Each structure stands twice: as C-alpha cells, then as structure tokens.
A and B are shown apart, each in its own frame.
Chain A
Amino acid sequence: MRRGLLWAFCALVGAWLVAPALIVVPLSFTSKASLKFPPDGYSTRWYENFFGDPAWMSALWTSIQVGLLVTVVATVLGTAAALGLTRARLRGLALVQGSMLAPMIVPGVVLAVGVYAVFLKLQLVGSLAGFVMAHTVLALPFVIIPVSASLRGFDRRLESAAASLGAGRWTAFRTVTLPLVAPGVAAGALFAFVTSFDEVVVSLFIQSPYLQTLPVKMYASVTRETDPTIAAAATMIIVMTTSLVLIATFFVARRSRARQ
C-alpha cells in the first residue's frame, strides 16, 4: 500500500519533469496560428516559416557557428589545462583547479554585466569573436572535468613505454595518450557545444541587432510573438542538444566500461 503511494508520487513527479520537453514538439506541428496545447490539427507550416525567415535562419547559423568555434577553442584549451592539472606538481594547484571551475558557480547575470562592460571597451559587443570567447569561458569546466577524469584513469607507464621505444613527447602524446583519453575529450567537446548552444544570459547582454544567437532570438520572441514558429525553433534546439548529449553520454559510458 505504502509502496503504491510512493510509485504514484514518483509517476506524477516524473510526468511533471518531462512535460515541458514533451509539449513543445507536438506544438510545433500545429496547424493553427496559436500556441494552444494540445493542437487541433497538424501541419509543417511553422517549419517552413522557420526555414524561410532570414531572422530565424541567421540566428540558427550564428548559434551553430559560435558553437563549433567554442567547441574547438574550449576543447583545445581545456584538454591542455586538464593535462597540466593532472600532471604538474606545484603548490597552489588545487587553487588553480578551483578557479578553472569557477565559471560554473558565478551567477550568469553577474558575469554578463562584467563581460558586457569589458566588451564595450574592447568593441566586442555583437561580434562573433565576442560570443566565442564569452562562451568558451563558460564551456571550459565542462571540458576540463571529463578530460581530467579520463586522464586519472590513464596509466602513465604507457607513455614511459613509448618514450623508451624512442617516441618524443609529442609523438607519445599523439599516438598513445590522446587515443586512450579520446572518449573523455569527445564528451568534453560535445558538452562545450551544448553549453554554447544553450547559453542565454551572457548572450542577451552582448548581442547586437545584427548578431544574435538562437536562444536570444527565442527569448525576444517569447515575450512578443504568439505564432508557433518559436515552437519549431525550440524543437530544433531540443533535437540538437538531446542527440549531442546522448552521444556524449555514450562516450562517457564507453570510457567507464573500458576502465573496468
């Protein structure tokens, strides 16, 4: 009896947890020009709208461009930093490690205000470089964490063995270390993309009328528009991030299985 109550409670909470993700997709296929759920009929016209509207398309393109650049920059910087953090023996390393993860903790608005002020000075507001750098800072912890975890499970004697066979530092890294920690690096890269693709608050501050990301365009539309094109945009984001997170989870799962 008490068990039954517990499961009923969990079912309710579970439904409430997934409800938002579940209504957006059918809503985007509605035939009516209103955001009423459940929809009365189905059509793909809002996707035609989305892909036919230069404003939505340029926002989508900006988001993809920024996301890909952030992935490259954050993955390279984060992997190097993770290598340094797990190998260097210096005093104060824990402090350095902590400060690397600090962007996860500082409230978005606080960082956004500071970044906005600095970007005004450096003339980076509304620039691609500005978006990439601001998002890179936020994505770094999400690269450093999985890569560090892979490196901790990595047997460094393999590198020594490569060195004893005549490999230089770089060759040993490229042919031995990198392939073995690749799942962690891949997971970090995907998380970096998703972090950038999802970011709103800092982007709201550093956008310009000429350059805004998809979530920023959505934010602006939610308050103003009532047509379901925004639901189509939201579905695009869900599909994109969900598939990437699933891929990243797959890499992480494979890594932990490989370690056993």
Chain B
Amino acid sequence: MASALQAVTLPAGTRTTAPERRPALLILPALVVLAVFFLYPLVSMVISAFTDPSPGLGNFTWFFGEAQNLRVLGRTFTTALWVTVIALALSYPYAYAMTVAGPRARAVLTLLVLVPFWTSLMVRTFAWVILLQDTGVVNDLLGAAGLGPFSLIRTQTGVVIGMVQLLMPFMVLPLYAVMSGIDRRLLSAAGSLGARPVKAFATVYVPLSLPGVSAGCLTVFISALGFYVTPALLGSPTDALLSQQIFTQVNGLLKWGRGGAMGVVLLGLTLAMIALLAVTLRRGGRRVTG
C-alpha cells in the first residue's frame, strides 16, 4: 500500500519499477505478424533477385546491361523529379497563403488540400481517366480557350498531372508547418533596412522555409518513385515506369529473379532517399532549435 501511494505521488512518466520488460511482450504479436507478412516477403524478394534462376548477379547484370531498363530507370527518376518540381511550384504559394489567411479561409484551404488524402487512389485515378480523355472536360475547357486539343491520357503529362494531385498534401503540410513558424516581422525589418519586398522575400523568407521545402520534396519524390496504379492507368505502356516493369516481369513473364532485382533497385533508391530525408530533417531541426 505504501509503495502504491508513493507511485501515486510520483510525477507521470517516472519509472515506478525497475526496467519494465513485461510491456515489451505486448509488442510481440504485432512483431510476429510483421516478420511473417512483411519482413519475410521482402527478404525472399531480395533472395530471389540473387538466386533465381541461378545464383549470382545475373539479374543485376541483365538490369544494368539493357539500355531499355536504363531508360525505364531514367524515366522513373525524371517523372518523380517533374512531379516534385511541379508540386513544389504549386504548393509554395498555396502554403504561404495558408499562413496569411484568416482562420476561416485557412480551414477551407486545409480542407481542400486534404481531400486528395482520403479520396481513394483508385477512384481518383479513374476520375483523371475521364477528365483527361481526348473529349474530356480538360480538353473542352482548353478548346473553349482556343487551345488544344491535346492528347493528355496515355502520356507522361497525364501521369504527372494525376500524381501531383495525389501527392500535394505531402508537400503542402510540411511547408505550412515550417512557414507558420517564420516570424513575419523579419520581412518588415528587411524592408525598413531598405530591401524591396521581392528581395526581402527571397533573401529572408525563402531561406527560412527551406527545411519545409526539403522535407516536402523528398517525401513527394520518394512516394512518386514507387507509384503503380496512376502511371499504369494514365500512362502509356511504352512509357512504363519501374514499378510497372516489376509487375510485368513477375506477373506476366514469371521472371521472379528479374522482378526481384528491379525491386531491390527501387527499394535501394527509396531507402537512400529516406536516409537523405532523415539527415536533412535532423539538420533542419538543429537550425530551428539552435
């Protein structure tokens, strides 16, 4: 009883007993499921890349030896890069508007950017198929403006439009998080020292917002690298990206080793980008706190 009372008077979060090991047992069931249905599948994919059909680096020499594959890799990279650049160009002013808006306008802007978050990926891709078709609304509007018609579907343009729409929340939210912490009086200070608004913005505001820019860009880039459904339905089969090639190798051609090798390349790229993200975030965090 005395010890229980003592525990009650201790501040929350204080160690009440010697190292607590029993709660760790609660993690076990989830860990077992992850080991069997996540880790084991990933490891077996990596192993197949090195062993199927015969042990060695054959699948990787095939991947990096064929010009076709390198084109796919390059296309995957440039598509992800375009998506990132356009998403940044659209999101930067948008996030900035969120910081200067009143509470109600900010709520509306936030809601709008969150809509793509929860509208199903499949539904949204289907909607873009309709919007972008040759006789679709987008072409009608462009036609009314005296432009087009453009072929948007089955092109990289269509893929980029769809992917940017899907990934914009991942750019806007970190940008807004950083921008809302910037003291806008710094801009007035720069102005009072003689800087014109544009110059003050470029030399004071933009550098302060960079941690948000890098976090958003890397998140969008990483997600874009691994996209499957949107490019498969909006793009053309001849412009396939890495993830579609993996699907084709495994599901269509039953080349497990080759699909596995491509999977290893995609996974490696993703992990490298995440490592980069972790480093930038830590540096960004240090700059903000220190």
Chain A CB within 10 A, most for which of B4, B5, B135: B4
- For A118, the closest partner residue in chain B by CB is B41
The answer to whether A137 and B90 have CB atoms under 8 Å apart is: no
Which of B30, B45, B225, B256 counts the most chain A CB atoms within 10 A?
A: B30
CB distance from A57 to the nearest CB of B (A): 18
Q: Is the CB of A106 within 8 A of B37?
A: no
A180 interfacial contact with B, CB 8 Å: no
Q: For the complex, is A111 an interface residue (Cβ under 8 Å from B)?
A: yes
Question: Is A18 in contact with B1, judged by CB distance below 8 angstroms?
Answer: no
Q: Is B151 an interface residue (CB 8 A)?
A: no
Q: B33 touches which one: A7, A36, A133 (CB < 8 A)?
A: A133
A residues less than 8 Å from B4 (CB atoms): 160, 163-164
- Give the contacts of A79-124 with B (CB-CB under 8 A): 80-81, 83-85, 87-90, 96, 99-100, 102-103, 105-118
Tell me whether A21 is interfacial, beta carbon within 8 Å. yes
Nearest residue (CB) in A for B41 is A114
Determine the distance from Cα of A85 to Cα of B45 in the docked complex, in whole angstroms: 29
Contact A156 B12 (CB under 8 A): yes
Which residues of chain B come closer than 8 Å to A78, judged between CB atoms? 30
Q: Does A157 contact B (CB under 8 A)?
A: yes
Q: Which of B41, B96, B118, B226 contacts A107 (CB 8 A)?
A: B226
Contact of A20 with B by CB under 8 A: yes
**B10 CB-CB contact with A under 8 Å:** yes
Interface residues of A in 174-201 (CB under 8 A from B): 194, 197-198, 200-201
Smallest Cβ distance from B125 to chain A, in angstroms?
7
Nearest chain B CB to A35 CB, angstrom units? 5
The answer to whether A110 touches B45, judged by C-beta atoms less than 8 angstroms apart, is yes
B75 CB-CB contact with A under 8 Å: no
User: Is the beta-carbon distance between A160 and B7 smaller than 8 angstroms?
Assistant: yes
Is the beta-carbon distance between B123 and A238 smaller than 8 angstroms? yes
Answer whether A85 and B27 are a contact pair too, CB < 8 Å, given A108-B228, A160-B7, A198-B122.
yes
The answer on a CB contact under 8 Å between A108 and B226 is yes
Which residues on the A side are within 8 Å of B128 (C-beta)? 20
| Min CB–CB distance A59 → chain B (angstroms) | 12
What residues on A are CB-neighbors of B213 within 8 Å?
none
B30 and A215 form a contact (CB under 8 A):
no
Residue among A105, A108, A245 with max Cβ neighbours from chain B (10 Å)? A105
Chain A: residues with Cβ within 8 Å of the partner, total of 83
A219 touches B127 (CB 8 A): no
CA distance A194 to B29 in the complex (A): 22
For A110, give its contact among B29, B42, B122, B229 (CB under 8 Å): B42
* Residues of chain B from 37 to 75 with CB closer than 8 A to chain A in the complex: 37-38, 40-45, 48
Contact of B168 with A by CB under 8 A:
yes
> What residue of chain A has the Cβ atom nearest to residue B274's Cβ?
A105
Q: Are A110 and B266 in contact (CB under 8 A)?
A: yes
B residues near A81, Cβ cutoff 8 Å: 26-27, 29-31
Selected from A19, A111, A140, A194, the residue in CB contact (under 8 A) with B131 is: A19
Q: Which of B38, B45, B127 gathers most chain A CB within 10 Å? A: B38
B272 to chain A, nearest CB (A): 12
Contact B270 A105 (CB under 8 A): yes
> Given the complex of chains A and B, what is the CA–CA distance between A89 and B15 in angstroms?
9
Closest residue on chain A to residue B164 by CB atoms: A16
- Complex contacts, A160 vs chain B, CB 8 Å: 4, 7-8, 16
A80 to B37, CA, bound (A): 18
Which residues of A does B touch, CB under 8 Å? Answer: 6-7, 9-10, 13-14, 16-21, 23-24, 27, 35-38, 76-78, 80-81, 83-85, 87-90, 96, 99-100, 102-103, 105-118, 133-134, 136-137, 140, 144, 155-157, 160-161, 163-164, 194, 197-198, 200-201, 204-205, 215, 218-219, 222-223, 230-231, 234, 237-238, 241-242, 245
Cβ contacts A to B, 10 pairs, < 8 Å: A7-B97, A20-B116, A77-B30, A107-B270, A111-B42, A117-B256, A205-B251, A218-B123, A222-B125, A234-B122
